[in-house]
């Protein structure tokens, strides 16, 4: 997205050095080197050990014809989209639950009343836990992993009373719509109950963390599955304690396409 912006608006290149962290390029190179290393390791895996993962489909469709740079970029997308975004959402949820103890207690009660052992906590078993699902939806709303607007090309349409010619790139900013008081009661408050039954009459369609349409996030179901299991098991096994109480995730985070988050130190005590 950033490279596309630099091509469309060359003037941006003059300002990037002043707003992007100096070590960003170094970190990016390290990340791409690690990505290539993981890609090559996966390519060397014998077919007999094929795990039926995302790469299996790429290789099956393209055989040996897919160029290495393209495979590397696909690997980069899978690693970033499949890890950083989920980790960011989990960080936001943990912080919000620790900042709202009554919500954490309600979630703990729901999980412990349903499950008697760790092995019972599965994707299917957690799918109908209303409060857990509400916590995840509220986490995605209040601290969206991708708070920026994803670009879409206008086919020629009227948007909010204005005609947008064909070919114009438009987007809807996720952070803005998720914190707009016209759509949400107390938009800056973490209130999972808004997602249960009728809630507070909020316009829930204003929260689309995975976007919409044919270009929506492919990993939506996997992300929900991972978050349900991880949060449920964390609550089942541990009592949580925020160590660095001075941190404020919303105040101390910075956005560079994705979030640069402060250190969130949490002490986990075995649940009695």
Distance CA 130, CA 193 (A): 9
89 assigned binding-site residue:
no
State the burial class of residue 118 (Cβ atoms within 10 Å of its Cβ: 0-12, 13-18, 19+).
exposed
Give dist(CA 196, CA 52) in Å, integer: 36
Residue 93 Rama label (left phi>0; alpha psi -120 to 50; beta): alpha
How far CA 67 is from CA of 32, 60, 70, 79, 177, in Å, comes to 16, 14, 5, 19, 40
Q: Is the dihedral of CA 85, 256, 142, 247 positive or negative?
A: positive
Residue 69 CB partners (closer than 8 Å, separation 6+): none
Outline where DSSP puts E strands in 19-170: 152-153, 157-159, 162-164, 169-170
57, containing H or E segment = helix 54-62
152: helix, strand or coil: strand
Number of DSSP helices (H) and strands (E) in the chain, helices first = 12, 8
> CA angle, corner 263, sides to 257 and 265, nearest 5?
140
- Binding site, residues? 217
- Binding site for heme, residues? 217
């Amino acid at each position: 997205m950033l490279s596309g912006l630099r091509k469309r608006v060359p003037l941006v290149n003059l300002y990037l050095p002043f707003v992007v962290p100096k070590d960003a390029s170094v970190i990016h190179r390290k990340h791409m080197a690690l990505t290539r290393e993981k890609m090559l390791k996966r390519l060397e895996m014998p077919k007999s050990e094929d795990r039926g993962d995302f790469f299996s489909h790429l290789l099956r469709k393209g055989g040996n014809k897919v160029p290495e740079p393209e495979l590397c970029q696909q690997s980069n997308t899978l690693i970033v989209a499949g890890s950083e975004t989920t980790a960011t959402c989990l960080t936001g949820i943990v912080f919000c639950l620790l900042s709202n103890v009554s919500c954490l207690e309600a979630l703990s009660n729901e999980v412990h009343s349903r499950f008697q052992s760790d092995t019972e906590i599965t994707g299917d078993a957690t799918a109908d836990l209303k409060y857990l699902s509400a916590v995840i939806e509220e986490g995605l709303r209040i601290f969206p992993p991708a708070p920026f607007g994803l670009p879409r090309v206008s086919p020629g349409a009227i948007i909010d009373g204005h005609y947008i010619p064909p070919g114009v790139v438009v987007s809807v900013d996720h952070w803005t719509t998720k914190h707009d008081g016209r759509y949400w009661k107390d938009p800056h408050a973490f209130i999972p109950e808004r997602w249960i039954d009728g809630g507070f009459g909020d316009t829930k369609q204003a929260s689309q963390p995975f976007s919409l349409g044919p270009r929506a996030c492919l990993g939506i179901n996997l992300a929900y599955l991972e978050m349900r299991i991880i949060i449920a098991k964390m609550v089942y096994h541990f009592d949580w304690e925020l160590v660095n109480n001075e941190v404020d995730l919303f105040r101390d985070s910075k956005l560079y396409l994705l979030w640069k988050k402060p250190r969130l130190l949490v002490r986990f005590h075995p649940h009695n």
